[in-house]
Amino acid sequence: MTTPVTTYPGGLTRSQVVSWRNAMFVIFGVCGIGMASWVARVPAVRDALGASTFEMGILIFGIALGSIIGLLASSHLIARFGARSTMALCFTIGPAGFVIAALGVTVVPSSVIVFVGLAIFGAGLSVCDVSMNVSGAANERALRRSIMPIYHAFFSFGTMIGAGLGAVAELLGVPIWLHILVISIGMFVLAQISLRYLQSEHIVEDDAEVVADDDHSKSWRGRLSIWRDPRTILIGLIVLGMAFAEGSANDWLALAMVDGHHVANETGALMFGIFVTAMTVGRLCGVLLLDKFGRVPVLRASALLAILGLSTVIFVPDATIAIIGIIAWGLGSALGFPVGMSAAADDPKTAAARVSAVATIGYCAFLVGPPVIGILGEHVGILMALLVVLVLVIVAGFASGAAREPAKAAGRQ
């Protein structure tokens, strides 16, 4: 009796597809390590430069500026070179910018050098972000199962590792330039090894899609036209709301618990840890729900869970009950961003352009969200300022239908 052989797109073997998946786990994790390594040394950077809070804000804006430029250029780079080659370039330029920034902190102290280095680092990470989501979505289609949330869980694992390494470096008094140099070399080496196992994102296109003459992927004007597609905006709203829910917790949850629920500083930090843990668990386990129920029901349930969690934290004065809200908030925030990336990449012909557009909308939450919450918090308190997040999550819930899988969307027509 012959055992049936599972076939994969482009004649790939199971070993090739699984190796591709595992390599993507490493790449997402490496990006998390890089970002967390910078965040962990920010206090030391401030002390080394003798910078004020305002001056540090300007330096950190370097990452934001580079990220915006990178996001706008990403779809064009991917269309020209492909996701794998683009990532190879990013893992050369990004770590180089990271090292330049580190040298500008201690070896050749200069805020200008630090700003330029961080801008290069931010650009490299943002282009890599789009590229790895495009490649990850292609691998997800090849596997024929939901896997994107697990990729993003590995990014979370990477941030934990990066933060831990940063804490150890701080404890041992490792110079910033040496710490960042080691991290940058590690990022480059691990990425270059992993990239060897990636396949072209075009390998999972249907024959009809390969021969189709699609202007979306052939010209700057065509790729920019993806912004006129209502589905792009709706998926962007899903990602925006859920990224805001995630980002606001990263930036403000601990302080909100301290100021709003009057817990101790260490308890506030612990509650943030509970949120991160809940979100990571949600991403690891969420793939089972996505495979069983599909994107739209899971996204709507996630939005409802996040709404209930946020409402509990904002309106219930009991700090113990607020912990339940934090868990619900973390679980509800877990899947919006990765599922939005998967939905944006459903059509291989427009994947790079749409993922770039959706990521740009989502990044607004991480770039604009913190100061908005901070400004509002000055006047109404951090807890009431989180009502903005609650409204955006509600909007994300209503927009969830835009993430419907192509086959299911076609079946409704």
Domains present along the chain, CATH in parentheses:
12-204 (1.20.1250.20), 226-401 (1.20.1250.20)
Of 80, 180, 63, the residue nearest 131 (C-alpha): 80
The answer to whether the beta carbons of residues 90 and 125 sit under 8 Å apart is: yes
Per-residue confidence in pLDDT tens, the chain, 413 aa = 444 445 777 788 889 999 999 999 999 999 989 988 887 787 788 888 888 867 777 887 788 789 888 888 887 888 889 999 999 999 999 999 999 999 999 888 899 999 999 999 999 998 998 899 889 888 988 888 888 899 989 988 888 888 888 888 888 889 999 999 999 999 999 999 999 999 988 876 543 344 344 444 455 565 567 778 889 899 999 999 998 898 788 777 877 888 888 888 778 777 877 888 898 899 999 989 998 999 999 999 999 999 999 999 999 988 889 999 999 999 999 999 899 988 888 877 777 778 878 887 887 777 777 677 877 887 888 889 899 999 999 999 999 999 998 765 544 44
Structure tokens at 10: 């482009």
| Phi, psi angles (nearest 5°) of residue 50 | 65, 35
Would you tell me how many other CB atoms lie within 10 Å of the CB of residue 241? 30
Q: Left (φ > 0), alpha (ψ -120 to 50) or beta: where does 12 sit?
A: beta
Q: What is the pTM of this model?
A: 0.79
Dihedral sign of CA atoms 161, 166, 172, 175 in order = positive
Q: Which residues of 56-80 are buried (b: 16+ CB within 10 A; e: fewer)?
A: beebbebbbbbbbbbbbbbbbbbbe
Do residues 104 and 113 touch, judged by C-beta distance below 8 A? yes
